[in-house]
Amino acid sequence: MTAYFNGRFMEKDEIRISPDDRGFLFSDSLYEVIRHYPGLLFRPEAHIRRLNHGAAHLRLACRDFSHLIPVARDLIRQNHLADQDALVYIQVTRGTAPRNHPFPDPASEPTVYICVSCFDPAVKDRQRKTGIHAITVPDIRWARCDMKTTGLTANVLACQQAAENKAGEAIFVRDGVLLEGTHSSFMAVFDDTVITAPLSNYILGGITRETVLDLCRDLDIRVLQEPVYESRIHLASELMVTGTTTEITPITTLNTRPVGNGKPGPVAKALQAAFASKIQQLQKQAPWFSPMKKGENSLKLSETP
């Protein structure tokens, strides 16, 4: 696979990251995962907006990564994924410097890494149809969850706990409020109204969450961005998680208790259909990618910023 590392397209296996990289030493680092549907990179500008938000708050030497969008598209083409389902992974770190907590002075050049991979949507498609089991876990994360940092230890532990309980996701609960999943946003339906936690430092501003809230407005589904309380969760008729690979997945059992009638509900199904037609519509509008020959780089090194 061809990947991109600090301004160069390289074989992924040949990339060498320094043990002094602050991403490795401190998780002083941000990431994004962008979904590619055949012919369509989905909302890359929104992902870069979120990356830039994190870069500004981490005070990285670079705070605008919009130049990475053509690089991501180019990687898709170079790896012959233009007509396939794929994922783009982007990671930027503060860079490399001898280990010391304060920022390096003078500032280090951020490390920038992008790779792409094939994505088989079959498992997620099945989960979207049948729904998933989910568990709740105490939110032991820090108080800047709005930044998509690679410091994911709490998410990893919670997701593992979900897996060990045969659940597809764990939902973080802070002060009696269900906030979000380990890798997804969380929504509940009460009396035909979709309720999801308001944007704050305690959740990641999900790109899919944003898309789904727009779809709710298109479908005349009432939305409230307010806390979803654990004490009232048994009254919800539907629960769902949303995310880049998750899209819109109903939760049919929470902590072994069925949600509603224990089947995917009408709001989730309507949103899934609207999401699918939005993707189809965007695919039709997307400029067609001509597949490239192996080893051919359309973007020359000298052209990369």
Least CB distance to ligand PLP at residue 139 (A):
10
Torsion angle, alpha carbons of 214, 139, 24, 163, to 10: -80
Number of residues that bind ligand PLP (CB under 6 A): 12
| AA identity, residue 298 | S
Residue with smaller CB distance to ligand PLP, 97 or 158: 158
Q: Kindly tell me which residue out of 111, 244, 249, 272 binds ligand PLP, with binding defined by CB under 6 A.
A: 244
Q: Which span sits near ligand PLP by CB under 6 A: 92-100, 117-125, 179-187, 280-288? A: 179-187
CA-wise closest residue to 268 among 247, 285, 286: 247
Whether the ω angle into residue 264 lies within 30 degrees of 0, i.e. cis, is no
Cβ atoms of 267 and 221 closer than 8 Å = yes
Give catalytic status of residue 129 as yes or no.
Answer: no
Residue 144 burial (CB count, 10 A): 13
Query: Pick the catalytic residue: 12, 148, 263, 293?
Result: 148
Q: Kindly tell me which residue out of 92, 180, 196, 215 binds ligand PLP, with binding defined by CB under 6 A.
A: 180
Least CB distance to ligand PLP at residue 295 (A):
32
| AA identity, residue 52 | N
> By CB under 6 A, is residue 29 in contact with ligand PLP?
no
Question: Interface mask (CB under 6 A) for ligand PLP, residues 133-172, using x and -?
Answer: ----------------------------------------
Least CB distance to ligand PLP at residue 162 (A):
13
Q: Kindly tell me which residue out of 54, 110, 206, 250 binds ligand PLP, with binding defined by CB under 6 A.
A: 206
> By CB under 6 A, is residue 208 in contact with ligand PLP?
yes
Rounded distance between C-alpha atoms, residue 139 and residue 177, angstroms: 10
Q: Kindly tell me which residue out of 243, 250, 264, 265 binds ligand PLP, with binding defined by CB under 6 A.
A: 243
Rounded distance between C-alpha atoms, residue 285 and residue 279, angstroms: 10
Q: Kindly tell me which residue out of 185, 196, 252, 272 binds ligand PLP, with binding defined by CB under 6 A.
A: 185
> By CB under 6 A, is residue 209 in contact with ligand PLP?
yes
Least CB distance to ligand PLP at residue 1 (A):
21
CA-wise closest residue to 151 among 22, 62, 3: 22
> By CB under 6 A, is residue 272 in contact with ligand PLP?
no
Residue with smaller CB distance to ligand PLP, 21 or 180: 180
Least CB distance to ligand PLP at residue 131 (A):
18
Q: Which span sits near ligand PLP by CB under 6 A: 9-17, 91-99, 131-139, 207-215? A: 207-215
Could you list the residues that contact ligand PLP (CB under 6 A)? 180, 183-185, 204, 206-209, 242-244
Catalytic residues: 148
